[in-house]
C-alpha cells in the first residue's frame, strides 16, 4: 500500500514535506497528487489544506493524518469521507511554541507595550503604574494541548491563571472551570482572556459582545484559536468603547486578511499573520512517521478526532 501526501500548500513547501517524509519513512511509497496512478493503493493520507473531492475517491483509505493541530477546515469539507478516522497533529514542540506566544503577548499587555508604542509615536513621556504579575489574572479558553502548556508557562511567570474547558480538569495552580454553565463565573475579574479553543459548532462566534460585556472594563484579548471565534464587529466596538483595552489577533475568518479590513488599522489591535505556533516540519514529520510506523506494526491508529464534537 502507499501513502498520499495531499496538500494545497505551495509546490516548494509540498516538496519540502515529501522529502522529509520520504527520509523519515524510507520503506514507504509516498506519492503526491500528480504522481497518483492507482487510487486503490492508498491506505493513508497525510494532509495539509487538502483540495476537496480527492479523499472520498480513495477506496481503501484507512485513516487521515493532518499536519495541522486544528482540523476545523477539514471537518467542514462535505466531501471528507465519513467513516475514515482522522488524526490531528499533537506535537509538544507546537504546544511549547504556543506557550511561548501566549507568554510573549500576555507579558506585552502586562507591561503596557502597546500603550508605550502609541506614546512613542506622539513623543509623550508618561509612566504608568507597574503591577506585579501576581496582581493579574489571565483566563484561558481551552485547556487542551495548547491551553495547558500556556497555563503552565503563565503560572511560571507568576500570573494567576484560570482555564475553561468542556470537561472538568484538575491542573496544579490553575483554577479550572468547565462547561457553558460556568463560563460567566470564569470570566469575572479577568485582566486578560486568551482563546485557545478549537473552532466547532459550539465555539463559533464565542468572542462576542455578550462575552466581552462579562469581562472587567479594559480587559485584554488574545485570540490564537481561529478567526471564526471572533465576531469582528464586536471586537472593534469593544475596543472603541474601551470595554477591551487591546486585542492581539493572530487568526481571521479570511486569511490573508483583506487589505480593506478595518482590523489592520485599529490603534488598539496587534495583528499577526497566523504565526502563534506554526507546525515545525522537523518534529511534525517525526511524530507522523511514528504514528505510521506504529500503525504498520500494530494496526493501531493514534488518538482520533471526535467528529461528533468537532475536535
Ligand atoms: P485540544 O483538542 O487539545 O484542546 C481543545 C480544548 O478546548 C480542550 O480543553 C476542550 O475541552 C476545549 N473545548 C472544546 N470545545 C469546547 C467547548 N464547547 N466548551 C469549552 N471547552 C471546549 O486542541 P489544541 O489545544 O491542540 O488546539 C486548540 C486550537 O488551537 C486548534 O484547534 C487550533 O484552532 C488552534 N491553533 C492555532 C495555532 C496558531 O498558530 N494560531 C497553532 C495551533 C493550534 P476538553 O478538554 O474538555 O475536551
Ligand atoms: C494549526 C495552525 O492548526 O497552525 O496547526 O493553526
Residues 101 and 222 in one domain: yes
Residue 259 lies in a domain: yes
Residues 201 and 288 in one domain: no
Nearest ligand to the C-alpha atom of residue 198: 1
Residue 127 lies in a domain: yes
Residues 105 and 198 in one domain: yes
pLDDT tens digit sequence for 262-310: 999 999 999 999 999 999 999 999 999 999 999 999 999 999 999 999 9
pLDDT tens digit sequence for 205-240: 999 999 999 999 999 999 999 999 999 999 999 999
Cα-based distances in Å from 283 to 3, 24, 117, 290: 19, 11, 36, 11
Range of the domain at 222: 92-271
**Domain count within the chain:** 2
- Predicted local distance difference test score (pLDDT) of residue 40: 98
Ligand 1 atom index nearest CA of 88 = 26
Residue 136 lies in a domain: yes
Residues 58 and 115 in one domain: no
Q: How far is the CA of 141 from the centre of ligand 2 (A)?
A: 16
**Do residues 96 and 102 touch, judged by C-beta distance below 8 A?**
no
Residue 307 lies in a domain: no
**Reported confidence tier of residue 126, pLDDT bands at 50, 70, 90:** very high
User: What is the pLDDT averaged over residues 7-25?
Assistant: 97
User: What is the pLDDT averaged over residues 163-190?
Assistant: 98
Q: Is the CB of 70 under 6 A from ligand 2?
A: yes
Catalytic residues: 226, 274
- Domain endpoint, select from 271, 287, 306: 271
User: What is the pLDDT averaged over residues 178-186?
Assistant: 98
Residues 117 and 174 in one domain: yes
**Do residues 69 and 97 touch, judged by C-beta distance below 8 A?**
no
Percent of the chain with pLDDT over 90: 100
Residues 117 and 250 in one domain: yes
CATH code for the domain in which residue 8 is found: 3.40.50.720
- Predicted local distance difference test score (pLDDT) of residue 94: 98
**Reported confidence tier of residue 80, pLDDT bands at 50, 70, 90:** very high
Residues 6+ apart with CB under 8 A from 201: 310
Residue 160 lies in a domain: yes
Residues 107 and 22 in one domain: no
Residue 305 lies in a domain: no
Look up the pTM and report it.
Answer: 0.98
User: What is the pLDDT averaged over residues 6-25?
Assistant: 97
Pocket test for ligand 1, best of 87, 148, 183, 196 (most atoms within 8 A of CB): 196
Residues 6+ apart with CB under 8 A from 122: none
- DSSP code string of 173-236: TEEEEESGGGHHHHHTT-SEEEE-----TTTTT-BSHHHHTTSPTTEEEEE-S-GGGB-HHHHH
- Predicted local distance difference test score (pLDDT) of residue 3: 98
Residue 59 lies in a domain: yes
What does the angle CA 116 – CA 117 – CA 123 come to, to the nearest 5 degrees? 80
- Residues 88/103/142/257 CA torsion (nearest 10 deg): -70
Q: Is the CB of 69 under 6 A from ligand 2?
A: yes
Mean pLDDT of the chain: 98
Query: Considering all CA atoms of the chain, what is the largest pairwise distance in Å, rounded to the nearest integer?
Result: 69
Check residue 171 and report its DSSP letter: B
Residues 125 and 240 in one domain: yes
Residues 110 and 259 in one domain: yes
- Predicted local distance difference test score (pLDDT) of residue 61: 98
Nearest ligand to the C-alpha atom of residue 305: 1
- Predicted local distance difference test score (pLDDT) of residue 246: 98
pLDDT tens digit sequence for 134-172: 999 999 999 999 999 999 999 999 999 999 999 999 999
- Predicted local distance difference test score (pLDDT) of residue 113: 98
Q: Tally Cβ neighbours within 10 Å of residue 34.
A: 6
- Predicted local distance difference test score (pLDDT) of residue 66: 98
Residue 311 lies in a domain: no
Residues 117 and 70 in one domain: no
Check residue 34 and report its DSSP letter: G
Residues 107 and 194 in one domain: yes
Q: How far is the CA of 289 from the centre of ligand 2 (A)?
A: 19
Segment holding 130, helix H or strand E: none
Residues 198 and 60 in one domain: no
Amino acid at each position: 500500500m502507499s501513502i498520499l501526501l495531499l496538500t494545497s500548500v505551495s509546490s516548494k513547501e509540498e516538496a519540502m514535506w515529501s522529502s522529509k517524509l520520504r527520509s523519515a519513512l524510507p520503506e514507504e511509497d509516498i506519492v503526491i497528487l500528480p504522481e497518483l496512478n492507482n487510487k486503490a493503493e492508498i491506505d493513508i493520507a497525510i494532509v495539509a489544506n487538502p483540495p476537496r473531492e480527492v479523499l472520498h475517491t480513495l477506496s481503501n483509505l484507512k485513516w487521515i493524518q493532518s499536519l495541522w493541530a486544528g482540523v476545523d477546515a477539514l471537518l467542514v469539507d462535505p466531501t471528507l469521507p465519513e467513516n475514515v478516522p482522522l488524526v490531528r497533529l499533537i506535537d509538544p514542540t507546537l504546544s511549547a511554541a504556543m506557550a511561548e506566544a501566549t507568554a510573549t503577548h500576555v507579558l506585552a499587555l502586562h507591561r503596557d507595550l502597546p500603550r508605550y508604542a502609541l506614546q512613542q509615536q506622539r513623543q509623550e513621556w508618561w509612566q504608568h503604574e507597574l503591577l506585579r504579575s501576581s496582581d493579574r489574572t489571565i483566563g484561558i479558553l481551552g485547556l487542551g494541548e495548547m491551553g495547558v502548556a500556556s497555563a503552565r508557562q503563565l503560572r511560571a511567570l507568576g500570573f494567576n491563571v484560570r482555564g475553561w474547558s468542556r470537561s472538568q480538569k484538575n491542573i496544579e495552580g490553575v483554577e479550572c472551570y468547565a462547561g457553558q454553565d460556568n463560563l460567566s463565573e470564569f470570566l469575572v475579574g479577568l485582566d486578560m482572556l486568551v482563546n485557545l479553543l478549537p473552532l466547532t459548532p459550539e465555539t463559533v462566534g464565542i468572542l462576542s459582545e455578550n462575552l466581552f460585556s462579562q469581562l472587567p472594563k479594559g480587559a485584554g484579548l488574545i485570540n490564537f484559536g481561529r478567526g471564526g471565534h471572533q465576531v469582528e464587529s464586536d471586537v472593534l466596538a469593544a475596543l472603541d468603547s474601551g470595554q477591551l483595552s487591546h486585542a492581539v489577533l493572530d487568526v481571521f475568518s479570511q486569511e490573508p486578511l483583506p487589505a480593506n479590513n478595518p482590523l489592520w488599522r485599529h490603534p488598539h489591535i496587534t495583528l499577526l499573520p497566523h504565526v502563534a505556533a506554526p507546525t515545525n516540519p522537523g518534529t511534525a514529520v517525526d511524530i507522523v512517521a511514528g504514528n505510521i510506523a506504529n500503525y504498520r506494526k500494530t494496526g493501531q491508529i493514534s488518538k482520533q478526532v471526535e467528529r461528533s464534537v468537532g475536535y
